[in-house]
């Protein structure tokens, strides 16, 4: 191998083993390949196999010969581990992946047929990868796949603990002064989050620790943009050497695909997509259907599911509901029928569903991917946040961006019915205007001259400057 080849940028992308991060990082991988940067995408064995089984990842990336490799390492858990809550193993197992990662990188370095890794883009929740990179003298960049507002909330967490305000009073936190954030709008003060029985460590403490640890990387990538979250980005920039705000990544990727006349269907899911719902949507009137999905991790109780179902049915609107395997804890939910107006799938092609003319509103758990996809498609949201960043995001959706209604902790059948009717009825006029404005703002950020577009160009320069 000649010296020129050795210096060629080779980025190792290492996502946290869950649907949200994998989805975003695969989009980043595709974008980097479009800019002729070599990428090794490193998954856990389990997720690697699911992607091979359910997506077109191999044929899709075949258009980048010599630039893309999809590989895998152990996630530390035994093969028969149930990997609850989506495909996450226990958080403590994830932390043990550092030796597998180190060996993987060393093997590449020792392989004369392969160019060495020049930068690790790791998930901001697996910061042990930054330590591995430092030890091996490789540049590292942390990519956190949550909103900037939530990232900042984690950094401010010690401040919140001292705050004596009640749940309803506004918090006085730098960057958040202009928004009416209450304790119940913060991660960790929400239901199910502080003590998640699925994990043996506190998820909140883990997220906060990893957020502070991310500062050890040379830069931070966030899937957001200046127009949406500038006050929070300004605060984060006081603590991090360099921040690239390159979102929404799905819009940026779509824009570059259109520019290169690329028609490839991009499915990054760990479940098999059921495209029959698109045919069903084709036969529905414009803006007549409520789309319902709670992402890849949220687990509902049977009584929560029933309240939602009654609320949807009583609203009188048609609905398309994603009930992925494991969505409902404990008992079977198969006895809950959809009636004439409902259509249920296990996993939908969500971006296409949100872009369909028949969809008029989105009942969502306010995961960051879902929120960005809904904003880009100008679909108003009915938010029922569950955990992690979701209470922060739903507050911004309802109070700041005004592109939906935040139901927060309340989800009884009458609230669901009333909120669905309000949003499907136009949300008092203002919501329609805001959703159109935000969609336009998002569109402009990812085209030449836009903030995300230019941050992405800077990231590419950074990766090429070895
Ligand atoms: C997790 C966290 O729960 C969330 O709070 C955080 O912001 C990101 O990581 P998840 O719960 O899976 O993510 O939700 P979300 O961020 O909304 O991501 C779900 C992704 O799955 C979206 O990209 C969505 O398009 C996709 N999806 C979901 C499908 O493709 N089909 C479906 O049927 C449902």
Rounded Cα distance between 170 and 172, Å, is 7
Which pLDDT does position 176 carry in this prediction? 73
Contact 221, 143 (CB under 8 A): yes
Which residue shows structure tokens 């879902």? 370
* Residue with CA at minimum distance from ligand 1 atom 5: 367
Atom of ligand 1 nearest to the CA of 388: 5
Which of 151, 186, 346, 367 has most ligand 1 atoms within 8 Å of its beta carbon, as the pocket-test mutant? 367
Mean of pLDDT values over 43-48: 92
Other residues' Cβ atoms within 10 Å of the Cβ of residue 110: 9
Mean of pLDDT values over 401-416: 93
Which pLDDT does position 347 carry in this prediction? 94
Q: Is the pLDDT of residue 456 over 60?
A: yes
- Report H helices in 183-326: 203-213, 226-237, 249-259, 276-282, 302-315
* E strand or H helix that includes residue 393: helix 390-395
Mean of pLDDT values over 23-50: 94
Which pLDDT does position 334 carry in this prediction? 60
Other residues' Cβ atoms within 10 Å of the Cβ of residue 135: 11
pLDDT tens-digit series, residues 251-266: 999 888 777 777 676 7
Q: Is the pLDDT of residue 168 over 80?
A: no
Which pLDDT does position 60 carry in this prediction? 87
Q: Is the pLDDT of residue 356 over 70?
A: yes
Mean of pLDDT values over 433-454: 96
Mean pLDDT of all residues in the chain? 88
**CA-atom Rg of the chain in angstroms:** 22
Instruction: Pick the range with the lowest mean pLDDT from 12-16, 276-280, 348-352, 427-431.
Output: 427-431
Rounded Cα distance between 90 and 81, Å, is 9
- CA 176 to centroid of ligand 1, rounded, Å: 25
- CA 11 to centroid of ligand 1, rounded, Å: 25
Atom of ligand 1 nearest to the CA of 364: 17
Mean of pLDDT values over 112-118: 89
Instruction: Pick the range with the lowest mean pLDDT from 223-227, 267-271, 310-314, 368-372.
Output: 267-271
Which residue shows structure tokens 């009942």? 363
Which pLDDT does position 260 carry in this prediction? 73
Cβ < 6 A, ligand 1 pocket: 19-20, 23, 145-146, 269, 293, 295-298, 322, 347-348, 350-351, 367-370, 373, 388-390
Other residues' Cβ atoms within 10 Å of the Cβ of residue 209: 15
Which pLDDT does position 1 carry in this prediction? 46
Which pLDDT does position 162 carry in this prediction? 58
- CA 86 to centroid of ligand 1, rounded, Å: 10
Which pLDDT does position 86 carry in this prediction? 59
Atom of ligand 1 nearest to the CA of 369: 16
Name the nearest CA neighbour of 213 among 145, 123, 138, 136.
123
Which pLDDT does position 385 carry in this prediction? 92
Which pLDDT does position 110 carry in this prediction? 86
Residue 215 or 429, more confident: 215
Which pLDDT does position 298 carry in this prediction? 87
Name the nearest CA neighbour of 243 among 21, 458, 442, 30.
458
Instruction: Pick the range with the lowest mean pLDDT from 202-211, 278-287, 404-413.
Output: 202-211
Q: Is the pLDDT of residue 294 over 80?
A: yes
Which residue shows structure tokens 């006085």? 172
The token duo for 48 is: 């690697």
- CA 373 to centroid of ligand 1, rounded, Å: 10
Which pLDDT does position 201 carry in this prediction? 56
β-bridge partners, 344? 321
Q: Is the pLDDT of residue 76 over 90?
A: no
Which pLDDT does position 191 carry in this prediction? 47
Rounded Cα distance between 235 and 244, Å, is 14
pLDDT tens-digit series, residues 297-353: 888 888 889 999 999 999 999 999 999 988 888 766 566 677 778 999 999 999 999
The token duo for 216 is: 């050890």
Which of 192, 296, 319 has most ligand 1 atoms within 8 Å of its beta carbon, as the pocket-test mutant? 296
Atom of ligand 1 nearest to the CA of 19: 12
Please report the ipTM that was assigned to this predicted complex. 0.98
Query: Which contacts qualify for 101-110: CB closer than 8 Å, 24 or more apart?
Result: 101/14, 101/42, 101/73, 101/128, 101/129, 101/132, 102/132, 102/135, 102/136, 104/42, 104/71, 104/73, 105/12, 105/132, 105/136, 105/138, 106/136, 108/40, 109/136
pLDDT tens-digit series, residues 4-35: 445 789 999 999 998 889 999 999 999 999 99
Residue 19 or 421, more confident: 421
pLDDT tens-digit series, residues 119-153: 999 999 999 999 999 999 999 999 999 999 999 99
* Residue with CA at minimum distance from ligand 1 atom 13: 20
- CA 299 to centroid of ligand 1, rounded, Å: 13
Cis amide prior to 248 (ω within 30 degrees) = yes
Q: Is the pLDDT of residue 193 over 50?
A: no
Residue 136 or 89, more confident: 136
pLDDT tens-digit series, residues 194-234: 445 555 457 788 889 999 999 999 999 999 999 999 999 99
Mean of pLDDT values over 398-421: 94
Which pLDDT does position 195 carry in this prediction? 46
pLDDT tens-digit series, residues 378-393: 999 999 998 889 999 9
Atom of ligand 1 nearest to the CA of 389: 5
Which pLDDT does position 77 carry in this prediction? 82
Q: What pTM does this model have?
A: 0.93
Atom of ligand 1 nearest to the CA of 373: 25
Which pLDDT does position 321 carry in this prediction? 96
- CA 294 to centroid of ligand 1, rounded, Å: 7
- CA 371 to centroid of ligand 1, rounded, Å: 9
Rounded Cα distance between 236 and 151, Å, is 8
Atom of ligand 1 nearest to the CA of 145: 8
Which pLDDT does position 331 carry in this prediction? 60
């Amino acid at each position: 191998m000649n010296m020129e080849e050795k210096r060629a940028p080779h980025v190792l992308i290492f996502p946290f083993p869950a649907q949200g991060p994998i989805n975003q990082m695969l989009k980043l991988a595709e974008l980097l390949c479009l800019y002729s940067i070599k990428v090794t995408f490193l998954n856990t064995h389990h997720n690697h196999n699911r992607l091979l089984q359910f997506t077109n990842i191999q044929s899709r990336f075949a258009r980048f010969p010599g630039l893309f490799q999809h590989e895998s390492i152990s996630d530390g858990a035994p093969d028969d581990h149930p990997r609850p809550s989506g495909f996450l193993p226990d958080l403590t197992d994830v932390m043990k992946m550092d030796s597998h990662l180190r060996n993987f990188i060393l093997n590449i370095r020792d392989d004369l047929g392969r160019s060495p890794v020049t930068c690790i883009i790791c998930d901001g929740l697996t910061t042990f990868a930054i330590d591995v990179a430092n030890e091996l003298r490789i540049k590292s960049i942390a990519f956190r796949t949550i909103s900037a507002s939530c990232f900042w909330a984690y950094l401010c967490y010690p401040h919140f603990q001292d705050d004596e305000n009640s749940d309803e009073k506004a918090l006085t936190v730098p960057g958040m002064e202009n928004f009416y954030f209450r304790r119940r709008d913060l991660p960790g003060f929400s239901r199910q989050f502080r003590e998640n029985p699925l994990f043996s460590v506190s998820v909140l403490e883990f997220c906060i620790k990893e957020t502070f640890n991310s500062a050890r990387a040379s830069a931070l990538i966030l899937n957001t943009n200046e127009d949406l979250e500038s006050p929070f980005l300004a605060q984060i920039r006081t603590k991090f050497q360099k921040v690239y705000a390159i979102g929404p990544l799905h819009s940026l990727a779509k824009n570059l695909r259109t520019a290169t006349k690329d028609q490839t269907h991009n499915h990054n899911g760990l479940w098999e997509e059921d495209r029959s719902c698109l045919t069903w949507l084709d036969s529905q009137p414009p803006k007549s259907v409520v789309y319902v999905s709670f992402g890849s991790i949220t687990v509902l109780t049977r009584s929560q599911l029933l309240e939602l179902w009654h609320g949807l049915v009583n609203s009188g609107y048609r609905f398309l509901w994603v009930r992925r395997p494991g969505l409902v804890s404990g008992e079977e939910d198969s006895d809950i029928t959809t009636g004439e107006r409902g259509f249920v799938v296990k996993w939908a092609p969500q971006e296409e569903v949100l872009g369909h003319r028949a969809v008029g509103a989105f009942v969502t758990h306010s995961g960051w991917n879902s929120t960005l996809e809904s904003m880009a498609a100008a679909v108003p949201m009915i938010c029922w946040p569950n955990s992690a960043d979701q209470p922060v995001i739903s507050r911004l959706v309802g109070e700041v961006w005004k592109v939906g209604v935040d139901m927060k902790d309340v989800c009884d059948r009458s609230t669901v019915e009333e909120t669905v009717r309000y949003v499907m009825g136009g949300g008092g006029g203002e919501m329609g205007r805001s959703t159109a404005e935000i969609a336009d703002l998002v569109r402009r950020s990812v085209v030449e001259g836009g903030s995300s577009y230019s941050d992405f160009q800077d990231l590419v320069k950074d990766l090429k400057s070895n």
